[in-house]
Amino acid sequence: MTLSTTSPSADAATARFPLRALLLLSTAVLVTVTAESLPAGLLPEMAADLRVSPERIGTLISVWALTVIVTSVPLSRALLSVDRRLSVVISLVMFALANLVTAIAPDYGVVLAARVLAAVAHGVFWSIVIVYATSLLSPGHLGRGLAIVTAGGTAATAIGLPAATLLAQGLGWRAVFVVLGATALVLAVVVLRAMPRSLAPTVARGRSSRGFWGDRSLPAVATFGLVAVLIATAQFGSFTYIRPYLSESASVAPEWSAVLLLVYGAAGLLGVVVAGVLADRFPRGSLIAVLVVFAASFAALSLVSASIVAVVASLVVWGVAFGAVFPLLQTILMRIASERTRPLASAGIVVFFNVGIAAGPWLGAAAGGASTPTTAMAVSACAMVLAAVLGTLGVLLAGLRRAG
């Protein structure tokens, strides 16, 4: 089976739902996203072994985000004419090698260089995997299919990072990178042998840059990119300081904080399921509704910290909203983008999210996240209100594009 377009084709529309292929891509997403935040979970072990300060280990996350921001869009455009299956395989092999080098690195400098290489591979992988998955799906299955693929990212937070931390405690932090590297290599082989080819259509390769910038879908795509920045900024502006919030504002004991974070992660997985149900039926209305609920959860957490019942309920709502918002946003982008702008939309959303990931902790700190975390929650609520407004504008622009 060979696919030559990124949009769901007539053949795909009559095909069976490609569950095994989507689960394979979702597993690859889980592995790469787990690596993204891994230094945070292994911070004490890595700092001690490499003889550097914990702050320098934390810098590895910032370097990763900056690398993704700088390299994702130009590399995705350079790979437009390459079979997307092959691009996924190459990015997974690069990622695997980078993690294996990290595992045997003699010093911090080698780890830093390996993290840059892994981040480049991660950015390429994420800029391609959604478009690749879209090419395997019929229009009626797009939302459910992309929810399965992006569920790997939610599972990385809820399962991957905690499991990696436990493994590091038992076998050392280097063993974690060996496991991630080996898993990525196995996934690359399976993708190469079992997944179909997917080539960009002529219209995506042969138009001029003037035609690209005049594309009718570009205003809506750009607007949703700004929505992505606000979502990630709000999320990481508050989640970075969730432990101070639980301990200081909500007076939750440390042992119960860990339980509540597990509940939050489980709620995120539930949110992915919700997105899979809603995305194909109400793709635009459900996105706006989730953005509003997102804002409401932050607002509630900023106002009701004295009530543990309200805090738990708000955390669950927050988790569901965060789990649902990314697959809903990806689905609407893949539906409204043209063949010409779809690769940019997929790569751009990765860049915009990483901008928010970088800006969020800084904004949370400026709002007093460590000392007055309820203020950071309020700031995140305001950011999500703006995201809902821009999301509504994006939906209207998408409607104008279809009408045109």
256 and 191, same domain (yes or no) = no
H or E, element range at 292 = helix 283-303
Q: Is this model's pTM higher than 0.85 or not?
A: no
- Do residues 260 and 357 share a domain? yes
Residue 279 vs residues 196, 275, 288, 325: alpha-carbon distances, Å: 25, 5, 12, 10
Q: Whole-angstrom Cα distance, residue 334 to residue 326?
A: 12
Q: Identify the three-state secondary structure at position 198.
A: strand
Q: 207 falls in which pLDDT band (50, 70, 90)?
A: very low
Residues 196 and 219 in one domain: no
Question: Does residue 121 carry a pLDDT above 90?
Answer: yes
Q: Are residues 127 and 190 in the same domain?
A: yes
Q: Are residues 52 and 200 in the same domain?
A: yes
**Dist CA 373 CA 370 (whole Å):** 6
CA 8 to chain centre: 22
Q: Is the CB of residue 144 less than 8 Å from the CB of residue 279?
A: yes
| Residues 189 and 41 occupy one common structural domain | yes
Helical segments of 240-282, H only: 242-244, 254-278
Last residue of a domain, one of 177, 206, 235: 206
**Residue 80 three-state SS:** coil
Say whether pLDDT at 113 is over 80: yes
Q: Report pLDDT digits (tens) over 277-311.
A: 888 888 788 999 999 999 999 999 999 999 999 99
Contact (CB, 8 A) for 245 and 315: no
334 vs 385, residue with greater confidence: 385
> Based on the domain organization, do 82 and 154 belong to the same domain?
yes
Hunting for tokens 């992309």 — which residue is that? Answer: 146
φ and ψ at residue 219, rounded to 5 degrees: -60, -45
CATH of the domain at 271: 1.20.1250.20
- Mean pLDDT computed over 248-253: 87
Helix, strand, coil proportions of the chain in percent (round to 5)? 85, 0, 15
* Residue from 39, 309, 29 nearest 174 by CA: 39
pLDDT at 208: 45
- Is residue 145 within 8 A of residue 133, CB to CB? The reply is yes
Q: Between 91 and 38, whose confidence is greater? A: 91
Q: Report which listed range, 31-45, 344-358, 376-390, is most confident.
A: 376-390
Say whether both 351 and 244 belong to one domain: yes
Segment 182-210 shows an average pLDDT of: 77
Top pLDDT among 170 and 298 is at 298
Token pair of 368 as six digits: 């007093």
Range of the domain at 170: 2-206
Cα–Cα distance, 137 to 318 (Å, whole number): 29
When the pLDDT of each residue in the chain is averaged and rounded to a whole number, the result is 86
Q: CA-CA distances (angstroms) from residue 188 to 12, 92, 213, 361, 364? A: 23, 6, 34, 33, 38
Buried (b) or exposed (e) across 138-169, using 16+ Cβ within 10 A? beebbbbbbbbbbbbbbbbbbbbbbebbebbe
Q: Which residues, at least 6 apart from 364, have a Cβ–Cβ distance to it below 8 Å? A: 236, 237, 238, 240, 241, 376, 379, 380
Residues 229 and 372 in one domain: yes
180 & 320 share domain: no
Do 191 and 61 touch, CB atoms closer than 8 A? no
* pLDDT band of 212, cuts 50, 70, 90: low
Asked if 275 and 241 sit in the same domain, the reply is yes
Is there a single domain that holds both residue 285 and residue 351?
Answer: yes
Structurally, the chain folds into a number of domains equal to 2
What pLDDT, on a 0 to 100 scale, did the predictor assign at position 12?
Answer: 45
